[in-house]
Amino acid sequence: MMTNVGGFMIVNWINYGLSFVAGSIQWRLPLALQFIFIFVLFATVPWLPESPRWLIAHGYEVEAIQILADLENKSTDHAFIVAQHQEIVYGVQYEREHSIKWRDLLRGRTEDGTKSARRLLLGAGTQFFQQFGGINIMSYYTPTIMITYVGLSNSMARLLSACNAVSYFIFAGVAVLFVERLGRRSLMMISTFLQLVAFLCISILLKYAMANGSTECAKAAIFFFFFYNIAFAVGMLGVPWLYPTEINSLPMRTKGAAVATATNWITNFVIVEITPIGFQNLGWKFWPIWVVTNALFLPIIYLLFPETSSRTLEDLDAYFRSDPSLIVVGDKDAISSKRPLKYIEKENDEVHRVEEQDAGVRERTSKVDLIVDVEARHHEVSKIQ
């Protein structure tokens, strides 16, 4: 997401610079510049390592083990790597045996025991919350907002939009420091609450600005446009892209990510289409709508969304197989940002079992080697005699 927001920041500054240029270059150059990044992406993707799960699913066991070892900086025969490999193999086999078809999912006839439909809705829900939290009102229409509601010139509105994009980029980087430490739930709730505060203050300030012609209130609202982007960047920017890939069951992971992404772009389209209509017909009353949406999302996240931070995909499958309550608040294992002890113990037991197996194999091999050595020496003695 840092590269995404970095691109957004660059585009804002390009648009600001080109606002001083006349002619078709204003729109031709921004389109042409995109080819640079397309070529960079095209040239670097072949060098990216493949997913170990994909490799195992397609029969490339040796390559998968090597990548796991490289990621953990351990040898390929280390007990932890062997245990991880076996766990992924089990997950791939389970996915094949319990694959879910779209028609079964839509009919609610999934029988894999891991709450696939519930997890699908949770993953897609984060993307719905992201868009109806109001981000693309700001991303698409900040210059229009500055001109229409605050009364700034076109040049100043574009300059402030570009500056806003810089703060957006900086705080997107700050979020990286906390996404594992605080967990997905906490970041989503903090971000959503701060978005609510931003929209509430914008609503109040713009109401008085439009009712009384107060330029001071209008200009004060500029701070909260910046504040909103900061609030979004620290949580709801990145987490909705992480959460669907983490929360969905192994057989549903690809479908879950697809549904979540589709939800994002469909709701993005809706927001972008309704915003100009809202500006024109509702004026300042358009802004309290987003106070309400963020206020609704807060308790839903708090009550229904389990934590995915520090969990493996297999941990989450095990959690949902236990038939957990719809309300997660009372379940410490469901909301802790740290990996639950029971999953750590299970993994340690598996590593210990592999170590014992290896020790047993080495012991049997040593005995066989000893017997062979004794027999060889006995044979040599017999030949001498």
pLDDT attached to residue 57: 87
The rounded percent of the chain whose pLDDT value lies above 70 is: 91
pLDDT attached to residue 380: 60
Q: Is 100 within a domain? A: no
pLDDT digits (tens, 9 = 90+) for 157-216: 999 999 999 999 999 998 888 888 899 999 999 999 999 999 999 999 999 888 877 788
pLDDT attached to residue 48: 87
Q: Count up the domains in the chain and report the number.
A: 1
Phi-psi region of 283 (alpha: psi -120 to 50; beta: other; left: phi over 0): left
Q: Say yes or no to pLDDT of 372 above 60.
A: no
Q: Say yes or no to pLDDT of 217 above 80.
A: yes
pLDDT attached to residue 364: 60
Distances (CA, A) of 173 to 39, 79, 180, 375: 25, 35, 13, 67
Using pLDDT thresholds of 50, 70 and 90, give the confidence band for residue 348. Answer: confident
Using pLDDT thresholds of 50, 70 and 90, give the confidence band for residue 378. Answer: low
Q: Say yes or no to pLDDT of 374 above 60.
A: no
pLDDT attached to residue 371: 58
Q: Is 296 within a domain? A: yes
Q: Say yes or no to pLDDT of 68 above 80.
A: yes
Using pLDDT thresholds of 50, 70 and 90, give the confidence band for residue 31. Answer: confident
Q: Is 192 within a domain? A: yes
Q: Is 371 within a domain? A: no
Average pLDDT, the chain: 87
Phi-psi region of 312 (alpha: psi -120 to 50; beta: other; left: phi over 0): beta
CATH of the domain at 182: 1.20.1250.20
pLDDT attached to residue 93: 85
Q: Say yes or no to pLDDT of 228 above 70.
A: yes
Q: Is 343 within a domain? A: no
Expressed as residue numbers, the domain containing 233 is 114-335
Distances (CA, A) of 190 to 120, 187, 222: 23, 5, 21
Highest-confidence segment of 48-57, 158-167, 330-339, 349-358 = 158-167
pLDDT attached to residue 382: 60
Query: What distance in Å separates the CA atoms of residue 287 and residue 285, rounded to the nearest whole number?
Result: 5
Tokens 């939009």 -> residue: 161
Q: Is 180 within a domain? A: yes
Query: What distance in Å separates the CA atoms of residue 307 and residue 251, rounded to the nearest whole number?
Result: 20
Q: Which amino acid is at 232?
A: F
Q: Is 101 within a domain? A: no
The rounded percent of the chain whose pLDDT value lies above 90 is: 46
pLDDT attached to residue 163: 94
pLDDT attached to residue 138: 92
Q: Are 221 and 202 in contact (CB under 8 A)?
A: yes
Contacts of 63 (CB under 8 A, 6+ apart): 50, 55
Q: Are 156 and 254 in contact (CB under 8 A)?
A: no
pLDDT digits (tens, 9 = 90+) for 278-306: 999 998 999 999 999 999 999 999 999 99
Contacts of 9 (CB under 8 A, 6+ apart): 162, 165, 166, 168, 169
Q: Are 246 and 311 in contact (CB under 8 A)?
A: yes
Q: Which amino acid is at 138?
A: M
Q: Is 118 within a domain? A: yes
pLDDT digits (tens, 9 = 90+) for 115-132: 888 999 999 999 999 999
- Looking at residues 227-253, what average pLDDT do you find? 91
Q: Are 257 and 123 in contact (CB under 8 A)?
A: yes
